[in-house]
């Protein structure tokens, strides 16, 4: 019985060493990655848009990004990457940033950028007032301003869209509701549908949209997201919003996104033109809901400001 040959060793350890299995175990590499979940564009937990945020000291194998995003199963998972081994999440001001839905990588995401900045500012106590993220959409900055984080994003213009060319898609999105305007943003591949002004916020909230019907109705390959928007009303009993919206992105694996920063790069441009305003307050009236403060800049960009709440933090074991 070889378990008793060496009384100084435990039977399990002795078995592993004598059988050669210990060598196999030493070759296994277990990686621990810091990960958190942040509710963006809200000051309350379980509201706004949740995003997972993962901190990376170095690049992962390419397929791992998508696997982690699928595991988290939120509309977006963000990966913040140190630019060099000497960088630090508490002191550095420039990082790489990528965003993944459960099914694919996306070129721009507002709420996951806000969530990423919140993790660095709130959990890592980053000492810088402004952070810069290198992304597929270029450099994006995030700065602290009182209790909010302000994102500097591109402003995306729209062009008039012939309703007859997209009538099936519009029908799939708004059913029989009257439409006042239809626009298209080539920069973002988003279709903007404005409901007639006589509708109320409740009409937009009660809209039932089937994501599969949207996919079947869009045959051109030009549209990768649908925004349905409505002019705000001064009859609100509390906060007065300049406009409301909902956003649907089944082309990216997102049936409906609760609060969408990237959609507001389009909405900011459109409603600034329509209302003649540079400063606006927007509400995305999904089930979770969220509020965004918008400031159209002179340099052709837009500041998108909002709050964020960290609801979970821990380690991901790979």
CA 262 to chain centre: 8
76 labelled catalytic: yes
Enumerate residues 6+ apart whose C-beta is below 8 A from 80.
Answer: 53, 54, 55, 56, 89, 95, 96, 97, 116, 119, 120, 133
The two tokens of residue 290 are 């969220």
Residue 258 burial class via C-beta count within 10 angstroms: exposed 0-12, middle 13-18, buried 19 and up: buried
Q: Rounded CA gap, 265 and 307, in Å?
A: 18
Q: From residue 27, how far is each of 22, 24, 30, 140, 318 by CA, in Å?
A: 9, 5, 10, 40, 14
**3-class DSSP state of 145:** strand
Q: Give me the catalytic one of 71, 76, 134, 256.
A: 76
C-alpha angle 237-240-243 in degrees, rounded to nearest 5: 130
215 to each of 4, 173, 175, 252, how far by Cα in Å?
67, 10, 15, 11
Is the Cβ–Cβ distance between 31 and 46 less than 8 Å?
A: no
Counting other chains too, the contacts that 122-130 makes at CB distance below 8 Å and 24 or more residues apart are 122/308, 122/310, 123/36, 123/310, 123/313, 124/55, 124/89, 124/90, 125/90, 126/89, 126/90, 126/91, 126/92, 126/93, 127/90, 127/91, 128/91, 128/92, 128/93, 130/93
**Residues with catalytic annotation?**
76
């Amino acid at each position: 019985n070889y378990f008793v040959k060496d009384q100084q060793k435990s039977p399990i350890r002795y078995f592993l060493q004598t059988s050669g299995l210990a060598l196999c175990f030493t070759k296994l590499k277990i990686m621990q990655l810091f990960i958190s979940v942040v509710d963006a564009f809200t000051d309350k937990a379980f509201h706004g848009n949740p995003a997972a945020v993962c901190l990376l000291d170095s690049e992962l194998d390419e397929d791992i990004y998508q696997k982690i995003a699928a595991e988290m199963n939120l509309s977006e998972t963000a990966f913040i990457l140190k630019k060099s081994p000497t960088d630090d999440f508490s002191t550095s001001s420039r990082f790489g940033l990528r965003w993944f839905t459960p099914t694919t990588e996306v070129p721009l995401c507002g709420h996951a950028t806000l969530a990423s900045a919140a993790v660095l500012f709130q959990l890592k106590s980053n000492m810088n007032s402004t952070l810069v993220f290198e992304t597929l959409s270029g450099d994006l900055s995030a700065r602290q301003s009182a209790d909010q984080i302000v994102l500097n994003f591109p402003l995306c213009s729209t062009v008039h869209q012939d309703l007859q060319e997209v009538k099936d898609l519009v029908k799939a999105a708004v059913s029989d509701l009257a439409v006042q305007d239809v626009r298209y943003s080539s920069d973002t591949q988003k279709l903007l549908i404005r409901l007639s002004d006589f509708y109320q916020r409740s009409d937009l909230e009660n809209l039932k949209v089937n994501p599969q019907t949207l996919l079947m109705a869009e045959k051109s390959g030009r549209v990768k997201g649908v925004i349905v928007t409505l002019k705000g009303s001064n009859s609100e009993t509390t906060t007065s919003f300049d406009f409301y919206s909902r956003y649907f992105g089944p082309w990216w694996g997102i049936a409906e996104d609760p609060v969408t920063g990237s959609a507001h790069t389009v909405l900011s441009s459109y409603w600034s033109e329509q209302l003649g305003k540079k400063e606006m307050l927007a509400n995305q009236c999904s089930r979770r809901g969220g509020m965004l403060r918008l400031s159209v800049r002179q340099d052709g960009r837009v500041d998108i400001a909002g709050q964020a709440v960290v609801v979970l933090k821990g380690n991901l074991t790979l």
